[in-house]
Amino acid sequence: MNSIDTVTFDVWNTLLVHEFYDDRVKLARVERIEKALDCAGFRFSRDDLLKAYDYSEASLCSLWKDERDASLDGHVALFLDGLGLEADEYHKDILRQPYADALLDFKPVMVEGAPDVLASLKKKGYRIGLISNTGRTPGETIRRVLDGYGILKYFDATVFSNELGYIKPNRRIFERALSGLGSRAANAVHVGDSVLLDIYGAREAGMSAILFNKYSVRFEKYATRYYEANGRSGTPDAAVERLADVTSAVEALEIK
């Protein structure tokens, strides 16, 4: 096996975890948007806003199941369309921040061991990348959360689906990360919690893959609403339940 010089990480349920697989973030986003529109002189009922949310959800789900994604402005434009407002710069400017920052009302928790494993890998000389699907929370907000926890500094490149236009498991998002890192797939390993998005996706891109399975079952139940496996699966090169074990798992791959 080729020597490993690069390690990339998923974000959700790998470095950050939350309990918000319900309508809490949805309602916080709608409330933030309602206040922003109200301040700008627009009056919409809560029912109108929820219908616009569901309208945008249908379009986004169609994109995600095709392994594509929309930019933050694309998300906002769909919401505005659902409200019957023109998606021009004026209207988008009203919605961008409340749409993007709703997650900050429910700050996710950093997974135990995240700073230590990143520091360990960095000290050993590995290039470190981040590859994340974003859902409705854009990469710019996720970077703020990671920076707030003091771990953004460890990454040599970060790739978020809303900024690229493709989601995992599409190989393009892995290839973009590798390009940004100046790395080859044969010398890289990806760490993530989803068999489809992380393991299958990384293997299809020619990378090795480590499954962090502490939160996998919970996420897979949620993910079926947005991702279709269509019989696709992947076998990880290693599996760990603790981030603290990632460094040794990476090193073990080098001697196989």
| Bridge partner list, 17 | 109
Residue 22 banded pLDDT, cuts 50, 70, 90: confident
pLDDT digits (tens, 9 = 90+) for 198-226: 999 999 999 999 999 998 776 666 566 66
pLDDT of 144: 96
Region 30-40 average pLDDT: 97
pTM over 0.85: yes
The span from the CA of 211 to the CA of 216, in Å, is 9
Q: Are 9 and 131 in contact (CB under 8 A)?
A: yes
The residue that leads in pLDDT, 227 or 102, is 102
State both tokens at 146.
């990671």
Q: Which of these ranges, 10-14, 72-76, 105-109, has the smallest mean pLDDT?
A: 105-109
What's 67-119 look like in SS3? CECCCHHHHHHHHHHHHCCCCCHHHHHHHHHHHHCHHHHHCCEECCCHHHHHH
Q: Is the dihedral of CA 162, 122, 14, 142 positive or negative?
A: negative
Q: Give 4's DSSP letter.
A: P
pLDDT digits (tens, 9 = 90+) for 152-206: 999 999 999 999 999 999 999 999 999 999 999 999 999 999 999 999 999 999 9
* pLDDT at residue 73 greater than cutoff 80: yes
Phi/psi for 230 (5° steps) reads: 50, 45
Q: Are 200 and 169 in contact (CB under 8 A)?
A: yes
State both tokens at 238.
């290693």
pLDDT of 180: 98
pLDDT of 31: 97
